[in-house]
Amino acid sequence: MNAGAVMKFSQYRISPKILKALEDAGFKRPTDIQFRALPPILAGEDVMGIAQTGTGKTAAFAIPVTHLLLQRIRRRDTEQVRCLVMVPTRELAVQIAAVFEMLNQYSTLSILALHGGVLQAPQVAQLKEGVDILIATPGRMFDLISQRHLDIRQVEILILDEADLMLDLGFYKDIESIIRQLPRKHQTLFFSATINAKIKELAFSIVRNPIRIQIAPKDRVSKNVSHSVAFVAMDDKRFFLERLIKEQPEAKILVFVRTKVRAERVQAAMKRVGIEALMMHGGKEQQDRLEVLQQFRKGEQRLLITTDVSARGIDIPNVDVVINYDIPEQPENYIHRVGRTGRGVHKGKALSYCSDEEQEALKAIEQYLEQEISITKIGKADYDATLAATEDTPNDNWRLLLAEEEKRNQKAKRKKK
């Protein structure tokens, strides 16, 4: 049973303005991570929270931090940043900013999502007015600090979200340099879905006697997600994706591929067989990426093909199926990918297409999960029928070759009789 299920948000000593915003949004009771994180954060403690993706980590820090900032008087005569939230991707910065904006709809705290891909001039102008809550990606933040447009020396609260990805991107020393610029007395909150030795080293170097909160540490992925793997040749994956989509026309499907080139090719392959799909990767303009996410969130299009740019922390409601079209090279990325489905109380499915050359990566994922992924067996007849049924016109010869092979097999069987 969720520990927070016995308590309501209205029972916390938080601002009535926040409670009103939560009520408007339909949030009545905290999730487990929120139930356990709110009291120590409200008390000013440093917190290190580890919880599965989809469990409400953003609100776990956004609710108490919003309350703390509302209780304190801001010096309006300075270009002050009071709370700094560091995140690895632009999409996550925009998403977290939206959560803070929802919580602040009845207050006047200023919020800014600071990231690349857009003009910096409007961001600089807002910084000069002072910002209560700054949600920033490392690249743009470091640029504006070096240009002296951003001053973080008065930050009261530092939040690192999905810090493991920031470390993977090579920002370890930059994060350390940022921390050295902060006031000696500040509150640090550290949230992630996964934790490893490098993360622990960073966390314990920047927090003071943290309250550690770990939800379901033995289960790396949500129990709401069923997992399976099908062994499919690399060049045949598009035919099996086509079949699955046509068999589940109402399903909301998120397809992960390895590279932006792969994303473009898979989208083109689907278009050839009459299946329209959204497509997103790190090479697209920021506004395009945000528009694609919004269309998929609203259900205007039920198929999104993307790279791992959409794997971390992005909240997309009601995803029915996650397909690992390409097996992720980093086991941790499997967790983040499949975490886009089975969120909250909803059930979801994760299906991986694994080619011969990807089997080592699959083994690494199973070792990381400490469990085997169930195999969806595809018989030869079913496999051949999938290839034969494709409407992909450049592959019409498949149907002819398979039909001829089937005729030969039938003749051979009749002769044996």
Give domain limits for the chain. 3-214, 225-378
pLDDT class for 293, splitting at 50, 70, 90? confident
Residue 153, Cβ neighbours under 10 Å: how many? 9
Nearest to 252 by CA among 295, 293, 299: 299
Lowest mean pLDDT among 38-52, 163-177, 348-362: 163-177
Per CATH, 3-214 and 225-378 having the same topology is answered yes
Instruction: Just give the CATH number of 225-378.
Output: 3.40.50.300
Residues 6 or more apart in contact with residue 79 via CB below 8 angstroms: 127, 128, 129, 130, 151
Could you tell me whether strands 278-280 and 225-231 are parallel, antiparallel, or unpaired per DSSP bridges? unpaired
Percentage of the chain exceeding pLDDT 70:
84
d(C-alpha 83, C-alpha 62), whole Å: 10
pLDDT at position 236 is 94
Q: Residue 255's beta-bridge partner residues?
A: 305, 323
Nearest to 237 by CA among 216, 210, 258: 258
Could you tell me which residue, 192 or 115, shows the higher pLDDT? 115
Cα–Cα distances (Å) from 161 to 57, 122, 125, in that order, read 9, 25, 26
CA torsion 88-89-91-93 (nearest 10°) is 40
Q: What is the pLDDT of residues 67-91, one digit of tens each?
A: 999 998 766 656 789 999 999 888 8
pLDDT at position 416 is 60
Residue length of the chain: 417
> What fold does the segment set 3-214 form as a domain?
Rossmann fold (3.40.50)
Mean pLDDT across 321-332:
92
d(C-alpha 208, C-alpha 186), whole Å: 10
**What average pLDDT does the structure give for the chain?**
85
Nearest to 324 by CA among 252, 253, 394: 253
Nearest to 138 by CA among 111, 181, 170, 108: 170
Residues 27-60, buried b or exposed e (16+ Cβ, 10 A)? Answer: beebbbbbbbbbebbbeebbbbbbbbbbbbbbbb
pLDDT at position 44 is 93
Cα–Cα distances (Å) from 378 to 233, 253, 270, in that order, read 12, 21, 22
pLDDT at position 1 is 45
Residue 363 predicted with pLDDT over 50:
yes
Percentage of the chain exceeding pLDDT 90:
47
**What distance separates the 2 farthest-apart alpha carbons in the chain?**
95
pLDDT at position 202 is 73
pLDDT class for 404, splitting at 50, 70, 90? low
pLDDT at position 217 is 47
Mean pLDDT across 278-286:
82
Mean pLDDT across 214-233:
77
